[in-house]
Amino acid sequence: MPSDRPGANLPPLSLYVPEPRFRPGDTVDFTEVPVPPAGQARRPDTAEPASAFTDLAYDLVRVLDADGQAVGPWNPRLSPDTLRAMLRSMVTVRAFDERMFRAQRQGKTSFYMKCTGEEAVAVSAAFALDRDDMCFPSYRQQGLLIARGWSLVDMMNQIYSNKGDRLQGKQLPIMYSVRDASFFSISGNLTTQYPQAVGWAMASAAKGDTRIAAAWCGEGSTAEGDFHSACTFASVYRAPVIFNVVNNQWAISSFSGFAGAEATTFAARAIGYGIAGLRVDGNDALAVYAATAWAAERARTNQGPTLIEHFTYRVEGHSTSDDPGQYRSAGEASAWPLGDPVTRLKDHLIAIGEWDEERHIAQDKEIAEMVRAAQKEAEANGILGHGLHQPLDSLFDGVFEEMPWHLREQQAQMLAEETASGRPWARK
């Protein structure tokens, strides 16, 4: 560097690059993660202006305490039946994930993504929303479909791209679309669903409908421009929408620091937009339920959008293509200070005398059996790569409502190629 440059005598700048606290081999210590006691966070009236919630964007709403009791103003006071139904859905999600993960390892499909440790995020939201509220999920909210009682076989058909796949094998596994369950078509392009959810919510409001929209994205994805566009739109038009940011600490191998977590919370993103922001214990099914119900009430009473950060932990790898052992300490999942969402809800039900270990074990067995039976049924429709499950000419269906000449020509060409190739692909 030339020494005659103006300012050459100033101390040099340095670039800061964030680094996660633990790497493979490190001992994990999460004592520095603030975990306020359950029941402590205040619960403002839903009619309060967004600015009244500023402190809640930095706090952590928790309902279940260490003894499995539900405490504080956010306790949604759910009936034991509802609590058991939520537990059942969460256990089903976990069993479904286990089974489908294994199916991928057995070569029956190309790809799978688990939501282990995050089951409460989607399941509790599904219980707190109405069934016809439109969900714009990312790829880790399979719990929405399961909690809404959607067919496991239908989901598996999609994962296998088999002949029962209503999406005709056009989507990557787990990128479901279930209009009947108010579950929007999942995109692989992160956070594109955010402005779409706002548009849906705005349309619902413009039509005088009563349905609201909810969207999910990971904390890593909050860096996308679509996230910020969506926040602006939602704020400007007071769209009846709930933004869920699932802060599971990792975006593939990048820790949350690369999305800005060292500087502030993700719930605090809301503040600059004048949106109500809430930070909740994402492993606490009751807290997630309470926050969602509260946000839904705000949306339904034209108080506008709410952004909920679900503070949670991704226990498993990012997807079947990922090895988390390469980039994080093996101790993280077990040291995570907010525990496991399934265990915590189970412990709560036991603590209030509405459940016991025997019933839980029996339910685990029953659900495992149910998932296995669903898998058998789905596999009867075929698995990925074993034969042609969709009619070959369906490849061109749905590009446009009506097929234009250039697609008809290309379709004819493809069919001619296939016929000439002598491949044993029977056309339906």
Partner 1 sequence: MNMIQAINSAMDVMMDRDPAVIVMGEDVGYFGGVFRATAGLQAKYGKTRVFDTPITECGIIGVAVGMGAYGLRPVPEIQFADYIYPALDQLVSEAARLRYRSAGEFIAPITVRSPFGGGIFGGQTHSQSPEGIFTHVSGIKTVIPSTPYDAKGLLIAAIEDNDPTLFFEPKRIYNGPFDGHWDRPTQNWSQHPAGAVPEGYYKIPLGKANVVREGEALTILVYGTMVHVASAVVADAGVDAEIIDLRTLVPLDIETIEASVKKTGRCMIIHEATRTGGFGAELSALVQERCFYHLEAPIERVTGFDTPYPHSLEWAYFPGPVRIGEALKKVMKD
Ligand X SMILES: Cc1ncc(C[n+]2csc(CCOP(=O)(O)OP(=O)(O)O)c2C)c(N)n1
One residue of 112, 250, 273, 294 binding ligand X per CB under 6 A = 250
Tokens of 326: 């390469």
Complex with partner 1: residue 226 or 309, whichever CB lies closer: 226
Question: Does the footprint of ligand X cover residue 219 (CB under 6 A)?
Answer: yes
- Neighbour-count burial for 90-101, b at 16+ CB within 10 Å, e otherwise: bbbbbbbbebbb
d(CA 125, CA 135): 10
* CB contact at 8 A, 26 and 50: no
Question: Does the footprint of partner 1 cover residue 16 (CB under 8 A)?
Answer: no
- The CB density around residue 86, as the number of other CB atoms within 10 Å, is 27
Question: Does the footprint of partner 1 cover residue 202 (CB under 8 A)?
Answer: yes
One residue of 326, 372, 398, 425 binding partner 1 per CB under 8 A = 398
Q: Is 419 helix (H, G, I), strand (E, B) or coil?
A: helix
* CB contact at 8 A, 319 and 256: no
d(CA 247, CA 310): 6
Question: Does the footprint of ligand X cover residue 317 (CB under 6 A)?
Answer: no
* CB contact at 8 A, 392 and 427: yes
Complex with ligand X: residue 18 or 39, whichever CB lies closer: 18
Question: Does the footprint of partner 1 cover residue 184 (CB under 8 A)?
Answer: yes
Question: Does the footprint of ligand X cover residue 189 (CB under 6 A)?
Answer: yes
Question: Does the footprint of ligand X cover residue 318 (CB under 6 A)?
Answer: yes
Q: How far is the CB of 403 from partner 1 (least distance, A)?
A: 9
Residue range at the interface with partner 1 (CB under 8 A); choices 65-73, 193-201, 306-314, 374-382: 193-201
Tokens of 390: 């969709």
Complex with ligand X: residue 218 or 282, whichever CB lies closer: 218
One residue of 53, 150, 160, 200 binding partner 1 per CB under 8 A = 200
Contact partner, 221, from partner 1, ligand X, none, Cβ < 5-8 Å per class = ligand X
Among the listed residues 210, 178, 209, 214, the one whose alpha carbon sits nearest the alpha carbon of residue 196: 214
- The CB density around residue 221, as the number of other CB atoms within 10 Å, is 21
* CB contact at 8 A, 135 and 143: no
Question: Does the footprint of partner 1 cover residue 273 (CB under 8 A)?
Answer: no
Strand partners, 308: 244, 278
What binding mask, one character per residue, do residues 104-133 give for ligand X by CB under 6 A, x or -?
Answer: ------------------------------
Interacting residue ranges for partner 1, rule: CB under 8 A: 134, 136, 166-168, 170-171, 175, 177-179, 184-185, 187, 189, 192, 194-204, 206-207, 213, 225-226, 228-230, 232-233, 236, 397-401, 404-406
